[in-house]
Chains A and B, each alone.
Chain A
Amino acid sequence: MSDEIIRVENLTFEYPDTAVLKDVSFTLHRGDFLGIIGANGTGKSTLIKIILGLLKPDSGKIRLFGGELSRARSRVGYVSQKANSFNAGFPTTVGEVVRANLFSKKGLFRRYTKADDARVLEALELVGMSEYKNKPIGALSGGQQQRVFIARALAAEPELLLMDEPTVGIDAASVSEIMEIIKRLNSDGMTIIMTNHDTPALLDAANKLLIFCEHGYEEFVNKADLSFERIADILAGKRVHRHG
Chain B
Amino acid sequence: MGNIFAHAFMIRAFAAAALIAVSAPCIGLPIVLKRFSAIGDAASHSALGGIAFGLLIGINPLVGAVLFSIAAVLGIEGLRKKFGAYSEIATVVVMSTGIGLTAVLSGFIKNGAANINSFMFGSIVAISDFELIMTVALSALVVIVTTLLYKEIYALTFDEEAAALCGIPVKAINFLLMLLTAITVSVASRIVGALMISSLLVIPTATAMLVAKSYKKTLIFSIIFAELFTLIGLFVSYYLNLRPGGTIVLIGAIALVVTAFLKRKS
Contacts and interface: CB of A to CB of B under 8 A. Distances in A.
Interface of A: 52-54, 73-74, 78, 80, 82, 89-93, 96-97, 99-101, 103-104, 106, 108-109, 111-112, 134-136, 152, 156
A130 to B, nearest CB: 17
Contacts of A89: 209
B214 A93 contact: yes
Given A78-B165, A90-B215, A92-B215, 14 more contacts: A82-B159, A89-B209, A91-B208, A91-B209, A92-B158, A93-B213, A96-B154, A100-B154, A104-B166, A104-B167, A106-B151, A108-B149, A108-B169, A134-B214
B218 A74 contact: no
A71 to B, nearest CB: 11
B154 A108 contact: no
A96 B165 contact: no
Contact of A100 (B151, B209, B212): B151
A101 B166 CA distance: 6
A99 B154 CA distance: 10
A99 B215 CA distance: 12
Main secondary structure of the interface of B (DSSP, over half): helix
29 contacts: A52-B165, A54-B161, A54-B164, A73-B165, A74-B167, A80-B161, A90-B215, A91-B33, A91-B208, A91-B209, A91-B212, A91-B213, A91-B215, A92-B158, A93-B213, A93-B214, A96-B158, A96-B214, A96-B216, A97-B158, A100-B151, A100-B155, A103-B168, A104-B166, A108-B149, A109-B148, A112-B151, A135-B213, A156-B166
A108 B166 CA distance: 11
Given A74-B167, A152-B162, A92 B214 contact: yes
Interface residues of B, number: 28
Given A92-B158, A156-B166, A136 B213 contact: yes
Contact of B162 (A78, A108, A109, A111): A78
A172 to B, nearest CB: 26
